[in-house]
Amino acid sequence: MKNKMKNKTIMTKKNLLTIMLVIVGVNIYAQNNEKLQLEKLTQKFKDSIENFEDNSSFNSLLSLKTLIRTKDFEASKTFYTQILNLEIIEEYDDGNGSKGIIMRFGPIGSNAFFEISEISDNHSYYQEQFSKNLENDKIDIQLRTDNIEFWAMRLKEKWNARGPILRPWGSQYLYLRDPDGLQIIIYQEKSK
């Protein structure tokens, strides 16, 4: 059904472009009375439609999943599922030293996912940095909420957090770190 809808959308765009071509073409032909010019314009328009369809696959990116390799999988799992209350939608263990969970941000239907993984030192993909804390804030995870006060109270009882802090652009930020030292920011946008 999704493909039918996509094809219908493309066909609708094609029809609209064709109508525009006919209007532009008739005007040019009527003004110049040159059939060759109309044929060139028609070919150029067909090429641009074809190019549009070829580039439409760029819109096929459907979701976002962020992966963090953890040094202490169980501590990270507790943090993300019990402190931040993310829902586990998949859990895996390959039996060779790689295990993890995939969690969803937001309600069912949301296309934002977060994965934590532990890779032991006997696994072929293991890197020494996987067993260390993050050493800088080059990367952070920012989570938007519509109730910063709820999160401030929740975290006050369960986890070390700083804030809420009013930022110059009007948003309020809570700053905390996961068990690996990754900075997590929970923020509420400025009220409109």
Q: 35 pLDDT exceeds 80?
A: no
Q: Could you tell me if 165 and 155 are in contact, meaning their C-beta atoms sit under 8 angstroms apart?
A: no
pLDDT value, residue 28: 46
- One-letter amino acid at 182 equals L
Torsion, CA 71, CA 74, CA 78, CA 84, rounded to 10: 30
Last residue of a domain, one of 116, 132, 148: 132
Per the structure block, which two tokens stand in for 30?
């009527």
Same domain for 46 and 85:
no
Could you identify the residue written with the tokens 């910063």? 148
Q: Among 40-44, 78-82, 89-93, 159-163, which stretch is predicted with the lowest mean pLDDT?
A: 40-44
Angle at alpha carbon of residue 186, lines to 182 and 192, rounded to 5°: 150
Confidence of residue 5 (pLDDT cuts 50, 70, 90): very low
Output the domain CATH number for residue 83. Answer: 3.10.180.10
**13: Cα within 13 Å, side-chain hemisphere:** 14
Same domain for 52 and 94:
no
pLDDT value, residue 10: 47
Q: Among 4-13, 64-73, 115-124, which stretch is predicted with the lowest mean pLDDT?
A: 4-13
Same domain for 67 and 50:
no
Same domain for 103 and 41:
no
Q: Could you tell me if 125 and 119 are in contact, meaning their C-beta atoms sit under 8 angstroms apart?
A: yes
Same domain for 86 and 53:
no
Same domain for 152 and 191:
yes
pLDDT in tens, 49-88: 666 555 555 567 777 888 889 999 999 999 999 999 999 9
* Structural domain harbouring 111: 62-132
Would you tell me the crossing angle of helices 2-32 and 35-55 to the nearest 10 degrees? 160
Same domain for 66 and 56:
no
Give the closest residue to 114 by CA, choosing from 132, 153, 87, 137: 87
Percent of the chain whose predicted confidence (pLDDT) is above 70: 69
For the chain, the average pLDDT equals: 78
Same domain for 111 and 77:
yes
Same domain for 147 and 116:
no
pLDDT value, residue 64: 83
- CA-to-CA distance for 106 and 118, rounded, in angstroms? 24
Confidence of residue 127 (pLDDT cuts 50, 70, 90): confident
pTM for the structure as a whole: 0.66
Q: Could you tell me if 176 and 160 are in contact, meaning their C-beta atoms sit under 8 angstroms apart?
A: yes
Structural domains in the chain (count):
3
Same domain for 43 and 66:
no
Same domain for 141 and 106:
no
pLDDT value, residue 46: 67
Q: DSSP letters along 43-108, please?
A: HHHHHHHHHHHHHGGGGG---EEEEEE-SSHHHHHHIIIIIS-PEEEEEEE-SSSEEEEEEEESST
Same domain for 104 and 165:
no
Q: Among 19-23, 96-100, 129-133, which stretch is predicted with the lowest mean pLDDT?
A: 19-23
Q: What is the mean pLDDT of residues 152-162?
A: 92
Q: 40 pLDDT exceeds 80?
A: no
